[in-house]
Amino acid sequence: MRIGIATTDFESTYTNLPTEIIFKKISDYGYKSVQLSFASLSECGYISNGQFDIPPQISNELIDIVIKYAQKCDIGIASVNGTYNMCHPDKDIRDEGIRRFNLLAHAAKKINAPIITLCSGSRCREHMWTPHADNKTESAWNDMYQSMLRLTEIAENTGITLAIETEASNIIDTPEQVRRILDSVGSSHLKMILDGANLFHAGTAKRENVRKVLIHAFDLFGADIVLAHGKDILEGDGIDFCATGEGIIDFAFMKSLLDKYSFNGDMIIHGVYDENKMASVYSFIDNICNKK
């Protein structure tokens, strides 16, 4: 299994690194692929905000830079980050997200990225990963669903696969909601990310729950998984993510379930953020996923 890392783990609040430096660091730490966020790259000139991780424009020059350094560092582009607030209460925001996504899909095609990752969003106006009481309303679901239909049409036209994941703060927050959106959209271009840490809600992140939570998720959407995230979560009453291997996720068991469902995609590390840990995290996951 190819082990990659999200470029968002290298992002800064105010300024980001050049593509060449990010890709060289990723290669030096041992990773073979990335989940690329164009907003992570200093050449993009865009810092992600709470509504859009997709920049308003993606230049041909930036695309050429990505291709150049991915090839130079021998890094595969497993997926591209296409997250924005798909259920924002302001329709203009949702429409702008779709406009940006259309540009992103064509850029992803040019860099041979097969998957674009999504965020189902939140009714919170300020931030797509902040919970809101209205997330459980049918109107919120319908706005997200209509957005998903439009993104799926773009994906079908460009040959890209979309991948959504559970997020405790978002509309799609359980495996049941995953199954609902997959069945409702009914497109072979909409698939699933398996992020074990994101399957937990506040009060449920207990070591004794891990295997049954993973089994439940695989029972509902195991055959639709196209990307795995190696994110971890601490045991506790809240939702406290941590570096991979420092929490409660049983990655060996997770790998066995991926094998059961004939998963052949990448394992993308996400949520480390500390460069002092990135090489050891790679070794930890590689030892589990690629035992000789």
Residue type for 70, please? A
* The CA-based dihedral angle spanning residues 202, 208, 212, 214, taken in that order and rounded to the nearest 10 degrees: 70
Q: Is the dihedral of CA 88, 90, 93, 98 positive or negative?
A: positive
Say how far residue 83 (Cα) sits from the centre of its chain: 8
Rg (CA), the chain: 18
Q: Which residue(s) pair with 164 in the sheet?
A: 192
Amino acid (1-letter code) at residue 87: C
What's the mean pLDDT in 32-52? 95
Closest CA to 128 of 110, 144, 113: 144
* pLDDT computed for residue 202 by the predictor: 96
* CA distance to 80, 180, 182, 203, per residue, from 177 (Å): 23, 5, 9, 19
| Class of residue 209 by CB neighbours under 10 A (exposed 0-12, middle 13-18, buried 19+) | middle
Return the half-sphere exposure (C-beta side, CA atoms, 13 A cut-off) of residue 11.
Answer: 23
Q: Is the pLDDT of residue 226 over 80?
A: yes
Going by DSSP bridges, is the β-strand pair 225-229/267-269 parallel, antiparallel, or unpaired? Answer: parallel
DSSP state of 124: -
64 pLDDT band, cuts 50/70/90, is very high
Run of H or E residues at 95: helix 91-110
* pLDDT tens for each residue of 5-21: 999 999 876 779 999 99
pTM of the complete model: 0.97
pLDDT given at position 15: 78
Among 63, 80, 84, smallest CA distance to 19 is for 63
**pLDDT per position as a tens digit, 240-268:** 999 999 999 999 999 999 999 999 999 99
C-alpha distance across the termini of the chain, in Å: 12
d(CA 272, CA 37): 16
Give the pLDDT band (50/70/90) at residue 184.
very high
Q: What pLDDT score does 291 carry? A: 81
Bridge-based pairing of strands 241-242 and 190-195 is: unpaired
pLDDT of residue 292: 59
- Give the range among 93-97, 158-162, 245-249, 271-275 with minimum mean pLDDT: 271-275
Pairing label, strands 241-242, 232-233 = antiparallel
* Residue 273: CB atoms within 10 Å: 15
Average pLDDT score over residue span 191-209: 98
Cβ atoms of residues 135 and 171 within 8 Å: yes
Q: How many domains does the chain have?
A: 1
Question: In the block, which residue shows the tokens 């993510």?
Answer: 241
Name residues whose C-beta falls within 8 Å of residue 255's C-beta, 6 or more positions apart in sequence: 1, 288, 289
Q: State the CATH number of the domain containing residue 199.
A: 3.20.20.150
- What's the token pair of residue 108? 């992803």
CB 231 within 8 A of CB 247: no
Owning domain of residue 42:
3-289
